[in-house]
Amino acid sequence: MNRKPNILAAFLVLALALLLTACGAGGDRVVRFAEANLGSGENIAIPGYEKLDFAAGKTAQTVNLKNPTENACAFVLTLTLEDGEALWTGKALSPGEAFTRITLTRALDAGEYPATLHYDCYTIEDNQPLNGAEIQLTLEVK
């Protein structure tokens, strides 16, 4: 009879863990959208964005910031406003992964904000810095 409470407790812990994972218990969310198809490493594919749509008054934002599968490097992305204020810095993003939710350092009021998405690129094997890029874009906050 002692096994029943233990099984029930284990089930409840597992259910809670699954619920927290499914609900996204805060923080950035990274998903694998495809298996990496690592290229030669001679070129780095940098996705370009003209604008990102954000929700006003919230720090949690839905995005789709990808590291293309053909890259042989990891990305560390940083989003800054025109004045240099960093709104978000992500963890290393492997080829075939994408941020689908990010958490800003502060909520933004409605409006349009000139911003820059900085790409710092690193080798996967030993985390050595490679070329990077900066994409000028607009944050459209509604």
| Token code pair at residue 134 | 């900066």
Helices (H), 1-142: 3-23
Instruction: Give dist(CA 27, CA 35) in Å, integer.
Output: 24
pLDDT tens sequence across 45-98: 999 999 999 999 999 999 999 999 999 999 999 999 999 999 999 999 999 999
For residue 123, give the amino acid letter.
T
Q: Whole-prediction pTM value?
A: 0.77
Phi, psi of 90 (to 5 degrees): -95, 165
pLDDT tens sequence across 89-141: 999 999 999 999 999 999 999 999 999 999 999 999 999 999 999 999 999 99
Arch. (CATH architecture) of 27-141: Sandwich (2.60)
Phi, psi of 72 (to 5 degrees): -110, 35
| Token code pair at residue 98 | 């994408």
